[in-house]
Amino acid sequence: MAIDEDLKRIITTHLLKISGFDPFSKFPGVTSTTAFLKMVDGDPAFAPFHLAREKYAVARIGGNLVTSVHRKIGDLYEDITQEILSRKLGIPRSSLVYSLELTIGDKKQTRSTDGRILLEEIQDPAIRKRVATMTPEGMTGLALEIRSCYQIGDSKRIQADRDMALALKEILLNPVMLVYCSTSLRSPIARLKQYWTLREGLAAFQYVKDLSDFDLLAFLNDNRAFIRAMMDQIFQKF
């Protein structure tokens, strides 16, 4: 199957999981925005504050849906990036994921990379040469961490990502973090750039293109109508 069709299949799989999300599941008997607003209007604590309005429903119910959308888009980018790397570099997907046991604070944790690429595992000489030009001298390969966006400012999460980068360098893998969005929180991005080769926004898409010779951004733009049809169904839920 052509890579474009495989990527469309992956996108469909993840977006269908979002379409199965029920934004009203926490409210028994409520299945629509109208019913939700009626419930709010009958709540003795909320009714006096005139919260039974659509903007409140969008903020409260829509917020749950948006959280689900962001999570699945994160999973989607990880999945399609691994598929591209596997197909274009000739590396089995099972080899891309690599786990390390780290001691973070006083606890041991197992962390996994999203895309370990060892130069010695690349069979095609031309591809190996291309990847080698993106690998710092003295390193045996790359280890990628894939994020759709970095929107969590939690200090423990940032520390864990920092420790992961340090551990990867110890085993001679250059840690590369790809953050596809351009609207991440600035503080964690600035800190993590001290430890990771970090690319965000258009630079992240360009990195994947340089690494794999596949233009992911062009693919997504070419399939905007295909993606929009599914997103329209998701946002019709309320």
| Predicted structure pTM score | 0.88
Q: Give tens-digit pLDDT for 154-189.
A: 888 898 899 999 999 999 999 999 999 999 999 999
Q: Give tens-digit pLDDT for 50-60.
A: 999 989 988 88
> Is 135 in contact with 173 (CB distance < 8 Å)?
no
Amino acid at 71: R
* Block residue for tokens 């800190």: 191
Render 132-178 in DSSP notation, one character per residue.
HTTS-TT--EEEEEEES------HHHHHHHHHHHHHHHHTTEEEEEE
Query: 206: which residues sit within 8 A by CB, 6+ positions away?
Result: 199
Q: Which residue has the higher pLDDT, 155 or 201?
A: 201
Task: Give which of 218, 170, 160 is closest to 191, Cα–Cα.
Answer: 160
Q: Give tens-digit pLDDT for 107-146.
A: 787 888 899 999 999 999 999 999 999 999 999 999 999 9
Residue 110 C-beta-side C-alpha neighbours within 13 Å = 3
Task: Give which of 65, 56, 70 is closest to 23, Cα–Cα.
Answer: 65
* Block residue for tokens 């998701």: 234
